[in-house]
Amino acid sequence: MDKRADVTVDVAIVGGGIAGAALATVLARDGYEVLLLERQTSYRDKVRGEILVCWGVAEMLALDLEKPFLDAGGHYVTRAVMYDEVIDPSTAEANAVPLDRLLPGIPGPLDVGHPQACEALARAAAEAGATVLRGVGDIEVVPGTPATLRYELDDLVTTVSAGLVVGADGRTSSVRRQLGLTLHETRPRTMAGGMLVDGLDGWPADQMSLGTEDDLYHLVFPRAHGRVRLYLLHDITQRGRFAGADRQATFLDAFRLRRCLPDTEIFRAARPAGPCAFYPMNDTWTDGPCAPGVVLVGDAAGWNDPIIGQGLSIALRDVRMVADVVRAGPDRAVEAFAHYVQERRERMRRLRVAAEVQTALVATFTPAGAARRKAFNAAFRTDPVLGGPRMAAQLGPDNVPAEAFGPENVARILAMG
Protein backbone atom coordinates (compact mmCIF):
# COMPACT_ATOMS: atom_id res chain seq x y z
CA MET A 1 0.00 0.00 0.00
CA ASP A 2 1.32 3.44 -0.93
CA LYS A 3 2.52 5.65 1.91
CA ARG A 4 1.27 9.23 2.01
CA ALA A 5 2.72 12.53 3.17
CA ASP A 6 1.68 16.19 3.22
CA VAL A 7 4.01 19.17 2.84
CA THR A 8 3.67 22.93 2.45
CA VAL A 9 6.00 25.10 0.34
CA ASP A 10 6.09 28.63 -1.01
CA VAL A 11 6.64 27.53 -4.62
CA ALA A 12 6.38 24.11 -6.28
CA ILE A 13 7.90 23.87 -9.77
CA VAL A 14 6.96 21.07 -12.15
CA GLY A 15 9.83 20.48 -14.57
CA GLY A 16 13.55 20.79 -13.91
CA GLY A 17 14.69 22.02 -17.33
CA ILE A 18 16.22 25.42 -18.03
CA ALA A 19 13.19 27.47 -16.98
CA GLY A 20 12.21 25.41 -13.95
CA ALA A 21 15.70 24.95 -12.52
CA ALA A 22 16.60 28.60 -13.15
CA LEU A 23 13.48 29.81 -11.32
CA ALA A 24 14.13 27.39 -8.46
CA THR A 25 17.66 28.75 -8.10
CA VAL A 26 16.60 32.39 -8.13
CA LEU A 27 13.74 31.96 -5.63
CA ALA A 28 15.70 29.67 -3.29
CA ARG A 29 18.46 32.26 -3.15
CA ASP A 30 15.82 34.76 -2.04
CA GLY A 31 14.88 32.52 0.86
CA TYR A 32 11.67 31.01 -0.47
CA GLU A 33 10.91 27.37 0.26
CA VAL A 34 11.04 25.80 -3.19
CA LEU A 35 10.23 22.28 -4.36
CA LEU A 36 11.52 21.32 -7.84
CA LEU A 37 10.10 18.15 -9.41
CA GLU A 38 11.68 16.52 -12.47
CA ARG A 39 10.55 13.39 -14.29
CA GLN A 40 13.97 12.45 -15.70
CA THR A 41 16.64 10.97 -13.47
CA SER A 42 19.29 12.31 -15.86
CA TYR A 43 19.08 14.92 -18.61
CA ARG A 44 19.30 13.73 -22.22
CA ASP A 45 20.48 15.44 -25.40
CA LYS A 46 17.29 16.42 -27.23
CA VAL A 47 19.07 18.37 -30.00
CA ARG A 48 17.46 21.67 -29.16
CA GLY A 49 17.85 24.84 -27.10
CA GLU A 50 21.61 25.44 -27.01
CA ILE A 51 22.14 29.16 -27.54
CA LEU A 52 21.46 32.17 -25.39
CA VAL A 53 21.29 35.09 -27.81
CA CYS A 54 22.48 38.52 -26.67
CA TRP A 55 19.23 39.62 -25.04
CA GLY A 56 19.01 36.25 -23.31
CA VAL A 57 22.53 36.72 -21.95
CA ALA A 58 21.32 40.03 -20.52
CA GLU A 59 18.49 38.14 -18.78
CA MET A 60 20.97 35.54 -17.50
CA LEU A 61 23.20 38.25 -16.02
CA ALA A 62 20.23 40.06 -14.45
CA LEU A 63 19.29 36.77 -12.75
CA ASP A 64 22.90 36.19 -11.61
CA LEU A 65 22.99 32.83 -13.38
CA GLU A 66 26.17 33.18 -15.40
CA LYS A 67 28.17 30.85 -13.15
CA PRO A 68 25.90 27.80 -13.64
CA PHE A 69 25.92 28.34 -17.39
CA LEU A 70 29.71 28.65 -17.48
CA ASP A 71 30.05 25.64 -15.17
CA ALA A 72 28.02 23.74 -17.79
CA GLY A 73 30.64 24.56 -20.44
CA GLY A 74 28.99 27.73 -21.71
CA HIS A 75 31.07 29.46 -24.36
CA TYR A 76 30.70 33.02 -25.64
CA VAL A 77 30.96 33.71 -29.38
CA THR A 78 31.81 37.18 -30.59
CA ARG A 79 30.96 37.28 -34.28
CA ALA A 80 28.51 35.88 -36.80
CA VAL A 81 29.38 35.19 -40.42
CA MET A 82 26.53 34.80 -42.89
CA TYR A 83 28.05 32.31 -45.30
CA ASP A 84 25.47 32.07 -48.06
CA GLU A 85 25.12 31.17 -51.71
CA VAL A 86 24.33 34.81 -52.56
CA ILE A 87 27.71 36.10 -51.30
CA ASP A 88 31.28 34.88 -51.66
CA PRO A 89 32.96 33.66 -48.43
CA SER A 90 35.55 36.44 -48.22
CA THR A 91 32.86 39.12 -48.45
CA ALA A 92 30.77 37.29 -45.84
CA GLU A 93 33.76 37.29 -43.49
CA ALA A 94 34.45 40.98 -44.12
CA ASN A 95 30.81 41.73 -43.23
CA ALA A 96 30.82 39.64 -40.04
CA VAL A 97 28.45 40.91 -37.33
CA PRO A 98 30.35 41.91 -34.13
CA LEU A 99 28.15 40.14 -31.61
CA ASP A 100 30.11 41.48 -28.64
CA ARG A 101 29.08 45.04 -29.56
CA LEU A 102 25.35 44.65 -30.07
CA LEU A 103 24.22 45.30 -26.48
CA PRO A 104 26.17 47.27 -23.85
CA GLY A 105 28.02 45.03 -21.44
CA ILE A 106 27.04 41.81 -23.22
CA PRO A 107 30.03 39.75 -24.47
CA GLY A 108 27.98 38.00 -27.16
CA PRO A 109 25.71 34.97 -27.38
CA LEU A 110 26.49 32.00 -25.16
CA ASP A 111 26.56 28.48 -26.62
CA VAL A 112 25.93 25.74 -24.08
CA GLY A 113 24.89 22.10 -23.94
CA HIS A 114 21.24 21.78 -22.95
CA PRO A 115 21.57 18.73 -20.67
CA GLN A 116 24.69 20.17 -19.06
CA ALA A 117 22.94 23.49 -18.41
CA CYS A 118 19.93 21.74 -16.86
CA GLU A 119 22.25 19.73 -14.62
CA ALA A 120 24.22 22.80 -13.53
CA LEU A 121 21.06 24.81 -12.78
CA ALA A 122 19.46 21.95 -10.83
CA ARG A 123 22.65 21.68 -8.79
CA ALA A 124 22.64 25.43 -8.20
CA ALA A 125 19.02 25.23 -7.05
CA ALA A 126 19.87 22.51 -4.54
CA GLU A 127 22.89 24.46 -3.30
CA ALA A 128 20.64 27.50 -2.79
CA GLY A 129 18.32 25.46 -0.58
CA ALA A 130 15.64 24.17 -2.96
CA THR A 131 14.41 20.59 -2.59
CA VAL A 132 15.19 18.92 -5.93
CA LEU A 133 13.53 15.58 -6.65
CA ARG A 134 14.10 13.49 -9.79
CA GLY A 135 12.34 10.42 -11.12
CA VAL A 136 8.95 11.80 -10.10
CA GLY A 137 5.92 10.06 -11.55
CA ASP A 138 2.59 11.53 -12.64
CA ILE A 139 1.75 14.89 -11.11
CA GLU A 140 -1.74 16.20 -10.44
CA VAL A 141 -2.23 19.95 -10.11
CA VAL A 142 -5.35 21.65 -8.74
CA PRO A 143 -5.44 25.46 -9.03
CA GLY A 144 -6.61 27.55 -6.09
CA THR A 145 -5.45 29.66 -3.17
CA PRO A 146 -3.42 27.81 -2.20
CA ALA A 147 -2.88 25.49 -5.16
CA THR A 148 -2.35 21.82 -4.46
CA LEU A 149 -0.14 19.30 -6.16
CA ARG A 150 0.19 15.53 -5.78
CA TYR A 151 3.09 13.42 -6.96
CA GLU A 152 4.45 9.92 -6.50
CA LEU A 153 8.08 9.05 -5.85
CA ASP A 154 9.39 5.70 -4.60
CA ASP A 155 5.86 4.49 -3.71
CA LEU A 156 5.25 7.56 -1.56
CA VAL A 157 2.33 9.78 -2.59
CA THR A 158 2.88 13.37 -1.45
CA THR A 159 0.31 16.14 -1.39
CA VAL A 160 1.79 19.61 -1.59
CA SER A 161 0.09 22.84 -0.58
CA ALA A 162 1.86 25.62 -2.48
CA GLY A 163 1.51 29.37 -2.57
CA LEU A 164 2.36 29.03 -6.27
CA VAL A 165 2.67 26.09 -8.65
CA VAL A 166 4.80 26.75 -11.73
CA GLY A 167 4.38 24.59 -14.82
CA ALA A 168 7.80 24.40 -16.45
CA ASP A 169 7.29 20.96 -17.95
CA GLY A 170 8.00 21.65 -21.59
CA ARG A 171 6.15 21.34 -24.85
CA THR A 172 3.91 18.46 -23.82
CA SER A 173 3.10 20.14 -20.50
CA SER A 174 0.85 18.09 -18.24
CA VAL A 175 0.18 21.18 -16.15
CA ARG A 176 -1.10 23.07 -19.21
CA ARG A 177 -3.42 20.21 -20.12
CA GLN A 178 -4.77 19.97 -16.58
CA LEU A 179 -5.55 23.68 -16.60
CA GLY A 180 -7.46 23.24 -19.88
CA LEU A 181 -5.46 25.96 -21.64
CA THR A 182 -5.58 26.02 -25.44
CA LEU A 183 -2.26 25.84 -27.26
CA HIS A 184 -2.48 27.75 -30.55
CA GLU A 185 -0.15 26.52 -33.30
CA THR A 186 1.12 27.72 -36.65
CA ARG A 187 1.63 25.33 -39.55
CA PRO A 188 5.24 24.04 -39.78
CA ARG A 189 7.09 25.09 -42.94
CA THR A 190 10.48 23.54 -42.21
CA MET A 191 12.15 20.61 -40.52
CA ALA A 192 15.27 21.28 -38.46
CA GLY A 193 17.82 18.81 -37.23
CA GLY A 194 21.01 19.00 -35.30
CA MET A 195 23.96 16.99 -34.15
CA LEU A 196 26.76 17.62 -31.68
CA VAL A 197 30.19 16.87 -33.13
CA ASP A 198 33.76 16.75 -31.93
CA GLY A 199 36.92 17.23 -33.95
CA LEU A 200 36.04 20.55 -35.62
CA ASP A 201 39.21 22.25 -34.40
CA GLY A 202 39.45 23.98 -37.78
CA TRP A 203 36.31 26.01 -37.08
CA PRO A 204 36.97 29.31 -35.23
CA ALA A 205 35.72 28.91 -31.67
CA ASP A 206 34.55 32.54 -31.53
CA GLN A 207 32.46 32.42 -34.71
CA MET A 208 28.91 31.27 -35.32
CA SER A 209 27.59 30.94 -38.86
CA LEU A 210 24.26 30.80 -40.64
CA GLY A 211 23.29 30.79 -44.29
CA THR A 212 21.57 29.06 -47.18
CA GLU A 213 22.79 26.93 -50.05
CA ASP A 214 20.46 25.21 -52.51
CA ASP A 215 17.73 23.57 -50.38
CA LEU A 216 19.43 23.70 -46.96
CA TYR A 217 19.83 26.37 -44.29
CA HIS A 218 22.77 25.79 -41.96
CA LEU A 219 23.75 27.01 -38.51
CA VAL A 220 27.04 26.45 -36.70
CA PHE A 221 27.29 27.05 -32.94
CA PRO A 222 30.81 26.38 -31.61
CA ARG A 223 31.91 25.64 -28.09
CA ALA A 224 35.46 25.10 -26.90
CA HIS A 225 38.01 22.47 -27.97
CA GLY A 226 36.51 21.62 -31.36
CA ARG A 227 33.05 20.75 -30.08
CA VAL A 228 30.30 22.25 -32.26
CA ARG A 229 26.54 21.94 -32.56
CA LEU A 230 25.55 21.77 -36.23
CA TYR A 231 22.03 22.37 -37.51
CA LEU A 232 20.38 21.95 -40.91
CA LEU A 233 16.90 23.06 -41.97
CA HIS A 234 14.98 21.93 -45.04
CA ASP A 235 11.47 22.29 -46.39
CA ILE A 236 8.74 20.38 -44.54
CA THR A 237 7.90 18.52 -47.76
CA GLN A 238 11.24 16.68 -47.41
CA ARG A 239 10.34 15.19 -44.04
CA GLY A 240 12.41 12.02 -43.55
CA ARG A 241 15.29 13.23 -45.73
CA PHE A 242 17.79 12.47 -42.97
CA ALA A 243 16.10 9.35 -41.60
CA GLY A 244 17.66 5.91 -41.44
CA ALA A 245 20.58 4.18 -39.78
CA ASP A 246 23.14 6.27 -41.69
CA ARG A 247 21.58 9.63 -40.79
CA GLN A 248 24.70 10.90 -39.01
CA ALA A 249 26.94 10.30 -42.04
CA THR A 250 24.31 11.74 -44.39
CA PHE A 251 23.97 14.80 -42.18
CA LEU A 252 27.73 15.48 -42.12
CA ASP A 253 28.04 14.94 -45.84
CA ALA A 254 25.25 17.47 -46.46
CA PHE A 255 27.17 19.98 -44.35
CA ARG A 256 29.91 20.20 -46.97
CA LEU A 257 28.27 23.27 -48.45
CA ARG A 258 30.81 23.73 -51.19
CA ARG A 259 29.64 27.07 -52.58
CA CYS A 260 29.13 29.09 -49.42
CA LEU A 261 31.59 27.76 -46.82
CA PRO A 262 35.28 28.62 -47.31
CA ASP A 263 36.70 25.23 -46.24
CA THR A 264 34.36 22.27 -46.30
CA GLU A 265 37.19 19.79 -45.81
CA ILE A 266 37.33 20.53 -42.08
CA PHE A 267 34.02 18.69 -41.72
CA ARG A 268 35.77 15.44 -42.67
CA ALA A 269 37.31 15.50 -39.20
CA ALA A 270 33.94 15.88 -37.45
CA ARG A 271 32.88 12.95 -35.26
CA PRO A 272 29.32 12.54 -33.98
CA ALA A 273 29.14 13.22 -30.25
CA GLY A 274 25.40 12.88 -29.84
CA PRO A 275 22.17 11.92 -31.59
CA CYS A 276 21.04 13.33 -34.93
CA ALA A 277 17.35 14.24 -34.80
CA PHE A 278 14.92 16.39 -36.80
CA TYR A 279 11.75 18.17 -35.66
CA PRO A 280 9.03 20.23 -37.38
CA MET A 281 9.46 23.96 -36.77
CA ASN A 282 6.52 26.11 -35.73
CA ASP A 283 5.22 28.65 -33.23
CA THR A 284 2.76 28.03 -30.42
CA TRP A 285 1.25 30.23 -27.73
CA THR A 286 -1.33 30.37 -24.98
CA ASP A 287 -3.53 33.42 -24.54
CA GLY A 288 -3.27 33.40 -20.76
CA PRO A 289 -0.70 30.99 -19.28
CA CYS A 290 -2.03 31.03 -15.72
CA ALA A 291 -4.85 30.07 -13.36
CA PRO A 292 -5.40 30.86 -9.67
CA GLY A 293 -2.18 29.86 -7.92
CA VAL A 294 -0.62 28.40 -11.09
CA VAL A 295 1.51 29.93 -13.86
CA LEU A 296 3.31 28.48 -16.90
CA VAL A 297 6.82 29.40 -18.04
CA GLY A 298 9.10 28.40 -20.91
CA ASP A 299 7.85 25.99 -23.56
CA ALA A 300 4.90 24.99 -21.36
CA ALA A 301 3.43 28.44 -22.06
CA GLY A 302 4.16 28.18 -25.80
CA TRP A 303 7.31 28.34 -27.88
CA ASN A 304 8.78 30.32 -30.75
CA ASP A 305 9.85 28.69 -34.02
CA PRO A 306 13.45 27.63 -33.26
CA ILE A 307 14.67 28.94 -36.62
CA ILE A 308 15.71 32.10 -34.74
CA GLY A 309 16.99 30.34 -31.60
CA GLN A 310 14.99 32.17 -28.92
CA GLY A 311 13.95 29.32 -26.62
CA LEU A 312 16.45 29.73 -23.78
CA SER A 313 16.17 33.51 -23.83
CA ILE A 314 12.36 33.35 -23.67
CA ALA A 315 12.64 30.98 -20.72
CA LEU A 316 14.92 33.29 -18.75
CA ARG A 317 12.72 36.35 -19.42
CA ASP A 318 9.77 34.30 -18.13
CA VAL A 319 11.77 33.37 -15.03
CA ARG A 320 12.66 36.98 -14.27
CA MET A 321 9.10 38.21 -14.66
CA VAL A 322 7.53 35.44 -12.56
CA ALA A 323 10.20 35.88 -9.89
CA ASP A 324 9.29 39.57 -9.75
CA VAL A 325 5.63 38.66 -9.13
CA VAL A 326 6.62 36.32 -6.29
CA ARG A 327 8.81 38.99 -4.73
CA ALA A 328 6.05 41.61 -4.97
CA GLY A 329 3.91 39.88 -2.35
CA PRO A 330 1.73 36.86 -1.58
CA ASP A 331 -0.98 37.53 -4.19
CA ARG A 332 -1.12 34.55 -6.59
CA ALA A 333 -4.41 35.39 -8.29
CA VAL A 334 -4.55 35.51 -12.08
CA GLU A 335 -4.58 39.32 -11.90
CA ALA A 336 -1.19 39.34 -10.18
CA PHE A 337 0.33 37.94 -13.37
CA ALA A 338 -1.40 40.40 -15.72
CA HIS A 339 1.81 42.23 -16.66
CA TYR A 340 3.63 38.95 -17.32
CA VAL A 341 0.75 37.67 -19.46
CA GLN A 342 0.51 40.88 -21.49
CA GLU A 343 4.27 41.25 -21.96
CA ARG A 344 4.68 37.63 -22.96
CA ARG A 345 1.79 37.79 -25.42
CA GLU A 346 3.33 40.77 -27.25
CA ARG A 347 6.86 39.33 -26.99
CA MET A 348 5.78 36.05 -28.59
CA ARG A 349 3.78 37.88 -31.27
CA ARG A 350 6.83 39.88 -32.28
CA LEU A 351 8.99 36.79 -32.29
CA ARG A 352 6.46 34.96 -34.46
CA VAL A 353 6.80 37.78 -36.98
CA ALA A 354 10.60 37.56 -36.74
CA ALA A 355 10.49 33.80 -37.33
CA GLU A 356 8.07 34.22 -40.25
CA VAL A 357 10.39 36.76 -41.88
CA GLN A 358 13.48 34.65 -41.26
CA THR A 359 11.80 31.60 -42.79
CA ALA A 360 10.82 33.65 -45.85
CA LEU A 361 14.40 34.90 -46.19
CA VAL A 362 16.54 31.84 -45.50
CA ALA A 363 14.26 28.84 -45.98
CA THR A 364 12.43 29.71 -49.18
CA PHE A 365 14.57 27.53 -51.40
CA THR A 366 13.77 29.12 -54.77
CA PRO A 367 15.48 31.65 -57.07
CA ALA A 368 12.97 34.25 -55.87
CA GLY A 369 13.85 33.43 -52.27
CA ALA A 370 17.57 33.88 -53.01
CA ALA A 371 16.91 37.21 -54.73
CA ARG A 372 14.86 38.43 -51.76
CA ARG A 373 17.59 37.40 -49.34
CA LYS A 374 20.29 39.15 -51.35
CA ALA A 375 18.30 42.40 -51.50
CA PHE A 376 17.46 42.25 -47.79
CA ASN A 377 21.07 41.52 -46.77
CA ALA A 378 22.22 44.59 -48.68
CA ALA A 379 19.80 46.89 -46.86
CA PHE A 380 18.81 45.66 -43.40
CA ARG A 381 21.78 46.96 -41.40
CA THR A 382 21.13 50.60 -42.30
CA ASP A 383 17.33 50.51 -41.91
CA PRO A 384 16.28 49.71 -38.31
CA VAL A 385 12.64 49.13 -39.25
CA LEU A 386 13.37 46.91 -42.25
CA GLY A 387 16.03 45.03 -40.30
CA GLY A 388 14.04 44.90 -37.07
CA PRO A 389 12.67 41.36 -37.45
CA ARG A 390 16.16 39.98 -37.99
CA MET A 391 17.91 42.11 -35.37
CA ALA A 392 15.26 41.22 -32.80
CA ALA A 393 16.77 37.75 -32.64
CA GLN A 394 19.87 39.17 -30.93
CA LEU A 395 18.75 42.54 -29.56
CA GLY A 396 15.41 41.29 -28.24
CA PRO A 397 11.89 41.98 -29.55
CA ASP A 398 11.52 45.03 -27.29
CA ASN A 399 14.78 46.64 -28.42
CA VAL A 400 13.83 47.31 -32.06
CA PRO A 401 11.11 49.62 -33.44
CA ALA A 402 7.58 48.33 -32.87
CA GLU A 403 6.65 49.08 -36.48
CA ALA A 404 9.22 46.51 -37.60
CA PHE A 405 6.66 43.84 -36.69
CA GLY A 406 3.74 45.46 -38.50
CA PRO A 407 2.13 44.01 -41.64
CA GLU A 408 3.42 46.86 -43.81
CA ASN A 409 7.04 46.11 -42.98
CA VAL A 410 6.58 42.39 -43.41
CA ALA A 411 4.97 42.98 -46.82
CA ARG A 412 7.87 45.26 -47.73
CA ILE A 413 10.38 42.54 -46.90
CA LEU A 414 8.47 39.82 -48.74
CA ALA A 415 8.32 42.01 -51.86
CA MET A 416 12.08 42.49 -52.00
CA GLY A 417 14.19 41.04 -54.79
Q: Domain 3-69+112-186+284-346 classified CATH 3.10.20.30? A: no
Can you list the alpha helix ranges (DSSP code H) found in 182-283? 247-254
pLDDT tens, 52-71?
A: 999 999 999 999 999 999 99
Contact 105, 6 (CB under 8 A): no
| Right CATH for 76-108+187-281 from 3.30.1360.20, 3.40.50.10790, 3.30.9.100, 3.40.50.10860 | 3.30.9.100
At residue 172 the predicted structure's pLDDT band, cuts being 50, 70 and 90, is very high
The pLDDT of residue 2: 57
pLDDT (mean) for 307-313: 97
What is the pairing mode between strands 131-134 and 34-38? parallel
The pLDDT of residue 1: 41
- Look up the pTM and report it: 0.97
Least confident of 57-61, 202-206, 254-258, 376-380: 254-258
Spatial distance between the Cα atoms of 57 and 394, rounded to a whole number of angstroms: 10
pLDDT (mean) for 156-160: 95
> Angle, to 10 degrees, between the axis of helix 311-328 and the axis of helix 338-362?
170
Indicate whether 291 pLDDT > 80: yes
Contact 235, 189 (CB under 8 A): yes
Would you say the C-alpha torsion 102, 103, 106, 110 has a positive or negative sign?
A: negative
Q: Where are the domains of the chain?
A: 3-69+112-186+284-346, 76-108+187-281, 356-414
